[in-house]
Structure 1
Amino acid sequence: MWRSLFVNYGKQTKIGEFLYYVSQTCHGIMGLRSHEQLVVGVGVLFLVTVCVTAFFFLPAGGADLYFRDEHAIQVRDTFVREREEVRRKQQEELIRKAEEAIPAPIPKPEIGAADDVEGRRTYVKQMIKFAWDGYRRYAWGENELKPNSKQGHSSSIFGYGKTGATIIDAIDTLYLVGLKEEYEEARKWIETFDYKSVVKGDVSVFETNIRFVGGLLSIYALTEDKMFLEKAEQIATVLLPAFETSTGIPNALINVQSGRSKTYNWANGKAILSEYGSIQLEFDYLSNQTGNPIFAKKAQKIRDVLSEIEKPDGLYPIYLSVETAKWGQHHYSMGAMADSWYEYLLKQWIATGKKDTKTKLEYDEAIFAMEKKLLFKSEQNSLWYFAKMFGTRVEHTFEHLACFSGGMAVLHSMNEPNQTVAKHYLELGKEIGKTCHESYIRSATGIGPESFQFSASIEAKTERSQDSYYILRPEVVETWFYLWRATKDEKYRQWAWEHVLNLEKYCRGKSGYSGIRNVYNSSPDQDDVQQSFLFAELFKYLYLIFSDDSILPLDQWVFNTEAHPFRIRH
């Protein structure tokens, strides 16, 4: 009987047929004695219960097994979708709240004639707010923003950690253009920021000085808020062990946690002219404001070393040994790895109220030697440019970075007591400004490349794919700013406005502004990096070009190489 029951069940798969066989089996039970019937009946009832339960709740074979598994998968997928939908709605709610917390966009001005300076200034302010809102929403506390990926970005110069480079680099610009809520938000973040506890690994002494120390000193100079001065001193103090070398020439990198410093691996123990030469403006100002002389002493030691050693043909090579203070290879440039050294010689003299006459003399000698050896005019249209030199070999390449030299020459002319010399440097500034403008208008985007060449067959353009990118550099606009202040020639404002429009057309991304990979491509790919110096330099210079001279007058303020303004001592 029991064998018959299980065999029959094993041959069937439908519950009705199974129950039929159970009934037939029960019919056979009726022939048993009463107590036997009771025992067998209980057994059958238990077996039925188990089988029915197994049928409904355990996987079955054949088509039923497939149906049950498919049903389970459908249930699971529905649950996952519902959970993901809840999470999506939660994320949307968080973004909505964040967007509500961000002040509304500045109304886009109707730009009319070229003399609508206020409209153009407001337009630049709107660009600043758009870029800041993107950073705030997607990368707050990170060093920079990837505007199309909508996430944070950082490079090796910042070490490892969320050190808010954009916040510190941007805060003086936010203050100057009147973005009050954004300024207050940045200030609150800085107030609780502890640089040493956040950053890990090696950081660039140069970049930390000009962006972090310079940015904090600048906003202190504008607001006289002591908190900013204290933060600047804390960060500058972290950098001091890098100056503990046999010559006093600082190493390029310092590990914030251990205090150990070193040169770049590729530099073979050499320091870079633009880096160790761009310390004095910030360190002197810091010592002057805090009363702590250690910073000024470190900067002066560098100057003493450079004053004492012989300069080949009056020129300053790019490389200098940290341990022996002897020059490395005789490479010379007005661009990368040299640029801000010349800038700081001039600006340090101005920053002291023109009292540091030794520095002015060293600047005069250095710029004269550079003109004599490296200033050229192109064959086609007599465009002026500073070439590069490697030993005795001249490379007729002018870098976007070197375009700052036009502004430096104009600033020189504005402060030069000898009128003949002043006229010469104003002319030099104009010519450099023109050359750099030519590098812009000869591209498909109206934006200049990272560097460009001059030869019998090429002028103010590059045929090198590796030089055709643009990473939101400010140096060309910087020169136009100084030219505008010095000459009031409307073409400099017009050139700046054209760059504003080109930035909007080619560099504006989903949540901010990005560099582009090829300025000669009318539809260039973006590099998806919003550099912190976009706020500190490019936006600031564009805003100031369309502002009155009473905002940061150049007889009262001097800019560091990151465009952070310090008050001139009188």
Structure 2
Amino acid sequence: MGIDERKLFKIREDHEKVLREAIDRLQKQPDEIRRDITSEKEKVAGAGFRKRGTVNNLPVVEYLRPPGTTGHEPSDRDTAEKRAKIKEMMQFAWENYKRYAWGCNELRPVSKQGHSSNLFGSLQGATIVDSLDTLYIMEMYEEFEAAAEWVQTHLDFNVNTEVSVFEVNIRFVGGLLSAYYLSGKEVFRRKAVELGLKLLPAFNTPSGIPWALLNLSSGVGRNWPWASGGSSILAEYGTLHLEFMHLSKLSGRAVFAQKVLNIRKVLNHLDKPRGLYPNYLNPSSAQWGQHHVSVGGLGDSFYEYLLKAWLMSDKADEEGKKLYFDALQAIESNMIRKSRGGLTYIAEWKGGLLEHKMGHLTCFAGGMFALGADGVPGDRRDRHMELAAEIARTCHESYAHTHLKLGPEAFRFDGGVEAIATRQNEKYFILRPEVIETYMYLWRFTHDPKYRQWGWEVVQALEQHCKVEGGYSGLRDVYADRPSHDDVQQSFFLAETLKYLYLLFSEDEHLPLEHWVFNTEAHPLPVIRREHTTKLHPQQ
């Protein structure tokens, strides 16, 4: 044979081999395919592998899968059955989204069509990106691959649209980062960095405190028109740190870390009323807006990210730790109260006056107190664990006091009421995860069976009142005799609520807390070990 004939023979031989392998794969039963995927996954987990792609000038990074990306079947039969039920719920929610709203941001499960809020503009695919890690964690690999293919071929950030920087960061950037760390697929790293770069113009303000809203095409930013005096919101600009530190690590670009560390610098120079952080900060003057403080909406995840920045840094970020515990001390002194009936709650602080109201969003704080308890200065660990348990009980009571056994958006402790919504616009339930999140953390730290029992009560209520023919819907009034559906299956129901329920009924080695930190959308990100820090290049 001449050299060209040898090449041709080799090409034909390779082609036939590929065809044989393809036919062999097609003939396998689904359970065999699943076993092969698991086997390959375990090989990769054992050996680690090096990604060599340099798309978008990304540096070569060594991908080593962190421990616990998937878990073992629970040894207790009842627990295993409950976990399997939660996986069925995820399959039902996902299949209906795929059937009626594929590619849209969210699903309308009653009217069986797509839905999008103004948070994302014309950016598409929120449920797909938000669900990636849940699909992987629950070992729904075929669905994960379909979602990954959509990300590869259809997820487009080159759109002339205005988006919420906060929501796009926690759902899209967080979801892509988590999918990358779980699976090692390079497309997720590339897309996460691409979107991160698109968000950088939001920081182009006199103080470097980012705008709330950004046009992804023009880079023009602004704040919500209703926010105090054109202010940025604490929970929004304070909930970028985890994702942006990982973007720096994966891109080799220091600019992401610099942007979020500058936010801290601005905050450190400001006087805090009674040590508290007001919800509003003007990005031009770098001065507080109205002195309204909340651990619920507008404030919540700022405090969460101070703690998690320290944990994610392998406990090297001492500044984050100090800021967190100082803030908590001020909250404990000024805002934590006990009702006449003995329920602990976190009130809202308005210029020195307390509003004895607690939002569903605030219920995440039970898990936060527990997660940070080991790092509390002095001998206050037990006090923080006690607070965590008391907040979990209060939030459970807010569910137990409703007719549909699902919690209202906000509940009050005045006029003789205990953990009950008294205003019509606070009685709705939009499939939120915060109460389940706290149950999951307290189960991990105490193994008290009541947290699984309370979690299972939520599962039963979701199945009875929120499940409709086309998915799961929120409710307009949890005190009504029968459910009135709001016709939205929120993307965070798949990203957070179902994930935290699944982990509540999983073994502790599934996403172990010493190796993983969850962003505020429940996307797990690995702890950045001190020995694995990457040299960053100040380029954009």
TM-score, normalization by structure 1: 0.78
Q: 2:413 aligns with which of 427, 437, 454?
A: 454
- Identify the residue that residue 484 of structure 1 maps to in structure 2: 443
- Identify the residue that residue 463 of structure 2 maps to in structure 1: 504
Kindly provide the amino acid, as one letter, of the partner of residue 183 in structure 2.
T
Contact 2:106/2:114 (CA < 8 Å) preserved in 1? yes
Q: 1:291 aligns with which of 252, 255, 269?
A: 252
Contact 1:453/1:460 (CA < 8 Å) preserved in 2? yes
Contact 1:145/1:531 (CA < 8 Å) preserved in 2? yes
Could you give the per-residue CA deviations for residues 320-342 of structure 1, whole angstroms, max 9, x where no partner exists? 01101001110011100000000
Cα distance, 1:482 vs. partner? 0.3
Measure, in 2, the Cα distance between the counterparts of 1:194 and 1:180. 20
1:459 is paired with a residue whose SS is coil
Q: Is 1:569 matched with 2:531?
A: no
Could you give the per-residue CA deviations for residues 208-266 of structure 1, whole angstroms, max 9, x where no partner exists? 00000000001111112221011001111111111011100000000112111111112
For structure 1, the residue ranges without an aligned partner over 5 or more in a row are 1-102, 105-113
Aligned ranges 1:199-348 → 2 under 5 Å:
199-267=159-227, 268-348=229-309
Kindly provide the amino acid, as one letter, of the partner of residue 347 in structure 1.
K
Measure, in 2, the Cα distance between the counterparts of 1:179 and 1:275. 32
Measure, in 2, the Cα distance between the counterparts of 1:166 and 1:424. 38
Q: 2:115 aligns with which of 142, 153, 159?
A: 153
- Identify the residue that residue 336 of structure 2 maps to in structure 1: 375
- Identify the residue that residue 131 of structure 2 maps to in structure 1: 170
Cα distance, 1:352 vs. partner? 0.2
Contact 1:221/1:567 (CA < 8 Å) preserved in 2? yes
Cα distance, 1:200 vs. partner? 3.6
- The count of residues paired between Structure 1 and Structure 2 equals 456
Cα distance, 1:182 vs. partner? 0.5
Kindly provide the amino acid, as one letter, of the partner of residue 498 in structure 2.
F
Aligned ranges 1:14-163 → 2 under 5 Å:
116-161=78-123, 163=124
Q: Which has the higher contact order (CA 8 A, sep 6+)?
A: 2
Contact 2:160/2:218 (CA < 8 Å) preserved in 1? no
Q: 1:361 aligns with which of 293, 300, 322?
A: 322
- Identify the residue that residue 540 of structure 1 maps to in structure 2: 499
1:301 is paired with a residue whose SS is helix
- Identify the residue that residue 152 of structure 2 maps to in structure 1: 191
1:394 is paired with a residue whose SS is strand
Contact 1:379/1:456 (CA < 8 Å) preserved in 2? no
- Identify the residue that residue 23 of structure 1 maps to in structure 2: none
For structure 2, the residue ranges without an aligned partner over 5 or more in a row are 1-29, 32-75, 530-540
- Identify the residue that residue 20 of structure 2 maps to in structure 1: none
Question: Which stretches of structure 1, 4 residues or more, deviate above 3 A after TM superposition?
Answer: none
Q: 1:385 aligns with which of 334, 345, 349?
A: 345
Cα distance, 1:141 vs. partner? 0.2
Measure, in 1, the Cα distance between the counterparts of 2:154 and 2:204. 27
1:298 is paired with a residue whose SS is helix
Contact 1:280/1:344 (CA < 8 Å) preserved in 2? yes
Measure, in 1, the Cα distance between the counterparts of 2:115 and 2:500. 24
Measure, in 2, the Cα distance between the counterparts of 1:455 and 1:214. 38
Measure, in 2, the Cα distance between the counterparts of 1:441 and 1:299. 40
1:558 is paired with a residue whose SS is strand
Contact 1:143/1:152 (CA < 8 Å) preserved in 2? yes
Cα distance, 1:186 vs. partner? 0.2
Cα distance, 1:419 vs. partner? 7.1
Measure, in 1, the Cα distance between the counterparts of 2:495 and 2:378. 33
1:566 is paired with a residue whose SS is strand
Q: CA RMSD in A?
A: 1.5
Give the fraction of aligned pairs with identical amino acids, expressed as a percent.
50
Q: Rg bigger for which structure?
A: 1
Measure, in 1, the Cα distance between the counterparts of 2:494 and 2:225. 31
Could you give the per-residue CA deviations for residues 413-446 of structure 1, whole angstroms, max 9, x where no partner exists? 1x32657221111111000000000000111011
Contact 1:160/1:201 (CA < 8 Å) preserved in 2? yes
- Identify the residue that residue 50 of structure 1 maps to in structure 2: none
Q: 2:379 aligns with which of 410, 413, 420?
A: 420
Cα distance, 1:142 vs. partner? 0.2
Cα distance, 1:524 vs. partner? 1.7
CA shift in 2, pair 1:181/1:409, >3 Å:
same
- Identify the residue that residue 143 of structure 2 maps to in structure 1: 182
Could you give the per-residue CA deviations for residues 360-404 of structure 1, whole angstroms, max 9, x where no partner exists? 011111000011000000012x10000012112211001000000
- Identify the residue that residue 28 of structure 1 maps to in structure 2: none
Measure, in 1, the Cα distance between the counterparts of 2:468 and 2:152. 31
Measure, in 1, the Cα distance between the counterparts of 2:77 and 2:401. 26
Cα distance, 1:522 vs. partner? 2.6
Measure, in 2, the Cα distance between the counterparts of 1:317 and 1:417. 23
